[in-house]
Each structure stands twice: as structure tokens, then as C-alpha cells.
Structure 1
Amino acid sequence: MNKKLVSGLLSFVTLFGGMGLTSCSDEDGGWPYSVSEETYYANRFGKDVMNMYYLWNAEIADDLAGWDAETNTDPIGTVDRIRYHDSNGYIDKWTMMTDDMSSFVSSVGGVSTTFGWSLTVYLVNQETKQCAAVVNFVHDDTPAARAGLKRGDILLSIDGQPLTTDNYLNLYYNTSLSTSLGRYNAADNTIYDVGKTVELTAVNMYEDPVLCDSVYEFNGKKVGYLAYSAFDLTSISKLIAVCKDFKAAGVRELVLDLRYNGGGYVLTENVLASMLAPQQAVASGQVFEREVYNNYLTEYLQKQGASMETCFATDYTYQNGDEVMNVSTQDANIGLEKIYALIGTGSASASEALLGGLMPYMDVRLIGEQSSGKYCTGMMLAAEDAYNEVPEAIRNWGLYVMISIYQNAAGETPCMPDGLRPDVGVDDEPMLAYALGDVNEPLLRQALTEAGRAYDDAPSAVQTRSLTSRYVQLPGVQKPVFGKRIQQPVSVGPVVR
């Protein structure tokens, strides 16, 4: 959906629904309402957007009708409270409002203040509340990478204190810290201190989501491997280069590791799909996915002649920050015959949509653990994108609002409602310290075995039983991109999903 349609729809409502954002004053020229100007206009903006774009606007119609812009003091909390739910809890876990849209856009684009690591935290001793944080991976050229941290390292302390349920969240929020390191001993199922302490200071930087790419050759064929952690816009050029390398190497089967990929931009999903799908489907422009909107938005888009289908393509124009980008995947389609997709609880949204969209066209084998189950598409809509004129008080406000459910060409949403279920269940075990891309890493080993690679040894006993069943996994802090499949209003290029 492009910017013209966004502003056009809100202009339609302004003219015929009386909801334009115009200045307000009482007879004496003062502000007439008990709430501040910022709060008033934020209420109007939130209510306008939820009325028009929100997938479940009919289901929350009573809440929207009761949203009083003149008296409501918490527009952010109101969006959180009224998003679609039933007696069992929230069905929409993702719609959110922010008063700092610029920071939100940066964070989902891969730029944040970070140590550069991905962690899984376990409670290892109920009585002492002792925790252990296992490194899943580190991004290149980040503080964690420069400190020498790698997959399988275990963080045992923070700033000289044992890591416990009381302080482990500081691993995500502190701007600097020191931590002692441990390792897992599979022979006796213990975690031991290696006698090393590292100090880290978080920096504001871009985290490259292309974690690893390799090619394995056996039995006269070549199998590619790509570990990818977020569908951001900056990584598109690197994805194209990697796929061109796979094509040049003669790769026909791909292990696509999305176990830590929580989602991102629909545009990036489309670009990657154009390089993974069968060449014939791409060349003929067959349907990749469809979007199902609310009745109001469906009628509007139909009148505008806008397509609700996304077809495979090879040329893309999009805006990344201040730059207008033009890319082509014309020479980057790998020519794949099969995909082994590595998934887990960290796989969500655009990851699930990509795999579901490819399923009608090719063999997609799922290995790992059940995915998250994020089956909606959201749009990041800034107040300044929503109106031709916007009050300065809410210029940096925005909404990430669920606008559609996606379906593949067969009319199915394979991850709905509870996530993709693996064809072969394999637990992710970062404690085993096999690097992503190591042929002995359990999920990759399963994929390569199915692809025909022979191993001299059988999987060890520790690889065939779950480590995580011995420890309680604690909730962590997800990246801002987690669970997001984002349609971004853009001012260039064709209408996109």
C-alpha cells in the first residue's frame, strides 16, 4: 500500500467523516480541553487509524466509539487495551502506538543500542534463583563479537553478582556490564566457570542479520546454508549477493535457517522469495501471497484498483531511510529444487509468511521446533504520513497496526493460528556450542542427513535428548522486529503489500 493511498483514504474520511486534524481553540483563544494538545491529537490519530485500517475494527467498534479524544489521557494505553481480544486473552498481540516513531523505525531497521548478542536465559537452580544466559549467536563487528563471545558461551554473572531471576534482565537493558563466562559439560550435565570475565559497552549500530552462508558438497551435489535473523531493508543487497553466489556454485537445495528470525519488512520477504522460488513461477509472475483486509479497506482498495495480491517479481523500488533504492533479482534466482527450513519459537511473522508462500510451489521441509504463529501483516504509519497536514505536537507519533491476514496462492495461512509445525522435531541446543553452519549443529545435521550427507558417527546421546527440559527457560527481551511483518507506506514505486 503506497503513501498516496494512505493519504487518500484519510482525506476521504476527513471530507466525509468529519475527522480532520484541525486546530482547536475556545472563544478566548485558549486550549478548550482538559487533556494536552499532544494527547488530544494523538487520540484523534489513533482513533482514525484504528477505525479505518485495523483488521478487527468491526470487533472493537464499541471500544472505538467510546474513545473520547477530549478526555482520554492515555492514547498509547488505549490502543493496547482495546486491540482485539476475547475472554481467553489477546488475539492481536502486536498492534501498538508510540510517541517516538523515529526510534521505532530505526530499531526495526536493525539499528539500536546493543551489545550485539542473542541470548537464551535458563533458571538452573530453583532454590538460589541462579540463572545462566546462553549465547545463541553474536552479530559481526559488535561489542560481543569484539569481546570474543560466541555461540555456546554461558554468562554466569553481571557486574560481579551471580546472575539470578532478580537481575538477568539487566543483560538486555544495561549500557555497560561485566560478566563471567562458563561452558556446558555434556558428559556430566554441568555448567562450569572457565575463569574468564569480559567487559562490554553497548553501542548504537546496525546489526547485520546475514549471520552465516556456506555451501556443502557431498554425493555429487551442493547444498547451500543461509542463517538469517531479520528481514530488514539494509540487508537486501547482501541477500542478493549471497543468492548469486549460491547460483554460481550450482546449489540446488538450501538449508534456510530462520530459527532466530522474528520477522521484518514484507518488501524484503518478497525479494528473498523471488530468489528462492522456482524460476518458472517468478518469470511468469505467479501469485506469491494475498492479503485479506477489513471490509472498509477492501472496498476502498477495490475502488482504487489496487491489487490485494503480491506476485513474484524481479525489480523492486523502495525507500530505505533517505535513499530511494532500485534492485533487481533477475540474475539471482538460485534455481532451487528443495528447501530445508530450520525453525523454532523465535521464527515469526515474515519468516512464517515466506515459508508458507513458497509451499504451493516447491518442497519445503520444516525441521526444528514449532514457530511463533504471527499470521498478520502490520503497517507502520507515522502521523505525518497519515495526514497532509499534521500538528507539530504529534509529528513523531505513530502506529504499528494490524491491517491484514496473509494467505498463500492456495488460499492458506499455514502458520495460523499457532505456528508452523515441524515435519521433524529437533530441539535447538545452543549450550552444545556448535557454531551456526557447523555440520554437527543438531538442526543443520538433521537437514544435511536428509539431503544425503553421511556422517561417520551417530548423534551423541546429548544430541538426541533435550537439554532445555532440565532447565526452565525464562522470558527474555525480544528485538523490536520480533513478530512484525511490516508494510511501510512509501512514496515511490508500485503498490505493494
Structure 2
Amino acid sequence: MRKPQALVLTIFSLIFSSCEKDPPLNEPGSNETINEWTMAQMRQYYYWNEKITQKNDYQQAPDLFFKSLLFKDDHYSSILQTLNSDTYGNTLTNTFGFDMVQLQNQSETIQLVTQVVPFSEGDLMGLKRGDSISHINDEPIDHSNLKSLLSKSLLLPAMHLTRNDGKIFHLPSSYISQPVLYTAKLISSSPTVGYMFLSQFDFSGSYSLLEAIQNFKSQEVQELIVDLRYNPGGQVAFAAFCALLLADIKENDIFAKYQGNKNLKNREDSFAAALQRQPDGYSFTADEVLKQGLHLKKIYMLTGPNTASAAEMLINGLKPYVEIIQVGDKTFGKDMASTTIVTPEDIRGTERAWHLIPMIYKIYNKADQGNYNNGIIPQKVTDEFSSLPLVPIGDTKDPLIQEVLQTVNVKNILAKGAVNNAGKTNLVLPQYIGSSYQAIPIEVSAQGKSDK
């Protein structure tokens, strides 16, 4: 994955270290010096700066001091002390090539594979979406231990999954590059309905997406389904790229507005301006992308509790311009942007730098619609786990796809394989414990900080 710039996904690896000896008080690198600097930054940039109470314990460890400043409803601000600031913590998808969900009711708990990364080891071994898993590393899974089993597995050189039929999948730990575009295809010819699944927002998938859009244009697609149900976000520039390819918009239309505290000027970005912050190595321009786009006036978006961050921005940002018909479950609810502030050398001395990542802006669209911290609720609430087993991604038997096809009046939909009511399940309360279900941060530069 290429390095993002401003207004893009920033990814960090949590590599902590301890000092053998604390520097003297008030000296560069001391807790007191770092914490006083941290307090000043938070009072300047933090969205909830007026909620910060006066602190006297500047001798605390910097990470504990930072966390003590956070507003109680802030679940996203963080602080890292790193060796490498452009990688992120391991997840199931980028380490073992799959992800899973736990479903439960009062009498039963099951674990289902929700996605398998194409061409990963698990995929080549036959692991499939919908497989039911009974053991991890030979330990039986119950309603209370899945999270700990997954966390432990991410520290091991390999992971053993036992499927309910007894088959064991030996998955070595490795870096797995997850394709952005899993599939793009026609799923109906009367009318022509296209479908695409986007796993994340990253420019590594830009040319695949361009090719898919050109194919849809040649096939004269009348309706399009964009599946974002497991998309945790990514580069905001790529979200703008998607918008320009899909929707009937203009390059200078407003994509997002950012509102901060009284110290920060509110700002806004057009689709073109957001696209300009694409990573090094890419040089797309908004007018060129628009010429190749579909110019749709209506788009169907499939969402779930793991649709987050820049993926939510795409949905909200397009609402003032085109009809967005959202199907599935409500989204994650990441409606804020952060910035990264690094301790300067005169503050940290010879110690490793601390990276403060406070939330500084609320995100709105052109019509000032936002405040979706509890998630964006679909017009058509549909449970993808209403019928088991889960079908492959893009299969027309999928409950969310079925809902769309029924809405667009696809002829003979039942003959094409509608969901069998015999497979209905009374399992409720899906527990998204899979470790890759983390909202990827939206990063912006604050007033007085230059984009890097």
C-alpha cells in the first residue's frame, strides 16, 4: 500500500518502547516537558478543547496523560510512540487473509467467515465465506473468548482454524495485500444491474476500478450496486475518485465541510481538491476522471456496522447530488477527522517521538448534513445474516442484493435464486469481533499545520 498524504488514510504500527532512565524534570524528553507540550496542542486543536479540565499531574506517562484529557464521548483520539509511522497494527485480513463474525442468541453461538481475501492462503486452501468455525488454535470458541483468541493469534507465526466439519486450515502469518475491488459484474440483464464490492479505499485499486467502470459503460448499466458492507474507509482522495467515477456531479462541487473548535477555521473541499491529495505516483485529474465516469443519478449502497470513515464520507458526501439508496445495516459512525502532531526535537530530546492523533473536525456534506456518530441508517434496513449459510460475495441470493433487485423490479427474481425461507435463522445480535473491523482514520491538516 502506498503512503497517503493529507486528507487520506494514515496507518500506524504500534511499536512501544520504555526508557531505561527518565530524563530530569523540565528537560527535553521528560514526562513533564512532553505533557505540558501535549496540553498546549490539545487546547489549540482538539475538537472538545473546552471540555479539557486543568491537570496537575504532569509526571504521568505521556500516553496516560493524553488519555486523561479526552472527552468521554471521544472513542477515536489516540497517541502512539513509534518507530515506523506509516504502518498499522495487524488485522485478520492483512495477516491471515480472512475475517469473521460471531452471531449469538440465548441458546447458540456460531462463528462465520465473512470474507476471504482472493488468492490468500486460506482462499487457495478452500476457506470460504459462510464457513462455520469451531476452534482457533485447537481451542473451542464460545461467546466470551473469541476476542482474546484472535488477539493472541495475531502475535503467532501461524493460525489454525478448525471448521465445523473438522477440516483444519493452517494459515501462516504474512503481509497480505487485500485487493480493493473484489469483483465487478452484471447481476441482471433486465434491467441491466451492475455490482461491485470495494474492500477499502486505496489507490492501489484505481486502475481495476477504472476498467470495471468502462465495462459497465459498454454494457449500458442502468442500475449500480456498490457494496461497502466491510469497508473500513481509507484514502479520502480515493473516495473522491469513486464519487467522480460513479455519480452525476461536477468536479468543483463540495464534497465535505470540516467544522472545528473556535481556534480552527472551518474548511471545505471540493471533489477535485480532495482528489488532488492522492498519493505519490498517481496523477489523476478530476476532469479526466469525470469523462470516464458513469454519471449516475441513483446509486445503491450496501452497508453494515463495518462501513466506516471515508466510506461513510462517500455516502454522505454524495447525498446532496444524487439519490443514494442505502440497503443493509447502519454504518459504524465515524464522522470525524483527525490530525497527527509529532513532538518536536526540542521537546522529546533523544527520546522517540510521540504522535498525538486528536479528533479536530466534524465532517458534513454540502447541505450541512452530518452528525452520524451513531451510524448512517439505511432507508431499507436488511439483515445480511437473516438466512444462512452466507452466500459468496456478489451472489444474487444475498439478502442485501435481493432487496435491491426487488426494488428495481428485476424480472423472474425468484427463478434466479431468491433466499430460501427454510434457511432463515433466529440468531440475533451479530458481534463483529474480527480484528480488521477498525475504522481507518481520516487525516487532515489543522490550521497552522502544513499538509505533508
Match of 2:381 among 416, 425, 434: 425
Any stretches of 5+ residues in structure 1 without a counterpart? Answer: 4-29, 86-90, 183-193, 302-307
TM-score (norm 2): 0.81
Q: Are 2:232 and 1:253 equivalent residues in the alignment?
A: no
For 2:440 and 2:130, the matched residues in 1 are separated by 25
For 1:398 and 1:245, the matched residues in 2 are separated by 43
Match of 1:313 among 267, 272, 294: 272
Deviation at 1:240, TM superposition (A): 3.4
Match of 2:310 among 330, 338, 350: 350
Q: Rate the CA distance shift 1:250–1:198 in 2: closer, same or farther, 3 A.
A: same
For 2:375 and 2:260, the matched residues in 1 are separated by 21
Deviation at 1:447, TM superposition (A): 1.0
Would you say the 8 A contact 1:121–1:133 is kept in 2?
Answer: yes
Match of 2:364 in 1: 407
For 1:197 and 1:445, the matched residues in 2 are separated by 33
What are the superposed Cα offsets for residues 115-169 of structure 1, whole Å, 9 maximum, x if unpaired?
A: 111110235786xxx8532110111232322322111011111233322345423
Question: Aligned ranges for residues 459-474 of structure 1 at < 5 Å?
Answer: 459-462=419-422, 465-469=424-428, 473-474=430-431
Q: Rate the CA distance shift 1:325–1:68 in 2: closer, same or farther, 3 A.
A: farther
- Equivalent AA in structure 2 for residue 326 of structure 1: S
Deviation at 1:319, TM superposition (A): 6.2
Match of 2:261 in 1: 294
SS in 1 for 2:294: coil
SS in 1 for 2:263: helix
For 2:30 and 2:197, the matched residues in 1 are separated by 43
Q: Are 2:250 and 1:282 equivalent residues in the alignment?
A: yes
Match of 1:187 in 2: none
For 1:34 and 1:480, the matched residues in 2 are separated by 41
- Equivalent AA in structure 2 for residue 448 of structure 1: L
Question: Aligned ranges for residues 325-344 of structure 1 at < 5 Å?
Answer: 325-328=282-285, 329-344=289-304
Would you say the 8 A contact 1:370–1:420 is kept in 2?
Answer: yes
SS in 2 for 1:448: helix
Question: Aligned ranges for residues 261-272 of structure 1 at < 5 Å?
Answer: 261-272=231-242
Match of 2:87 in 1: 106
Larger Cα Rg: Structure 1 or Structure 2?
A: 1
Deviation at 1:461, TM superposition (A): 1.6
Would you say the 8 A contact 1:111–1:204 is kept in 2?
Answer: no
For 2:180 and 2:426, the matched residues in 1 are separated by 27
How many residues are paired up? 420
* C-alpha RMSD over aligned residues: 3.4
Deviation at 1:369, TM superposition (A): 1.2
Would you say the 8 A contact 1:345–1:369 is kept in 2?
Answer: yes
Q: Rate the CA distance shift 1:319–1:106 in 2: closer, same or farther, 3 A.
A: farther
- Equivalent AA in structure 1 for residue 292 of structure 2: A
Any stretches of 5+ residues in structure 2 without a counterpart? Answer: 7-21
* Higher strand fraction (1 or 2): 1
Would you say the 8 A contact 1:344–1:370 is kept in 2?
Answer: yes
Deviation at 1:203, TM superposition (A): 0.7
TM-score (norm 1): 0.75
Match of 2:163 among 178, 181, 197: 181
- Equivalent AA in structure 2 for residue 313 of structure 1: A
Question: Aligned ranges for residues 74-473 of structure 1 at < 5 Å?
Answer: 75-85=62-72, 91-100=73-82, 102=84, 105-107=86-88, 114-123=95-104, 131-165=109-143, 167-169=145-147, 170-174=149-153, 175=156, 176-182=158-164, 194-219=165-190, 221-278=191-248, 281-283=249-251, 285-298=252-265, 308-313=267-272, 316-318=275-277, 320=279, 323-328=280-285, 329-379=289-339, 381=340, 383=342, 387=344, 391=348, 393=350, 395-413=352-370, 416-429=372-385, 431-454=388-411, 455-457=413-415, 459-462=419-422, 465-469=424-428, 473=430
What are the superposed Cα offsets for residues 291-331 of structure 1, whole Å, 9 maximum, x if unpaired?
A: 11111011xx7xxxxxx1111228944464xx443223243
Would you say the 8 A contact 1:113–1:202 is kept in 2?
Answer: no
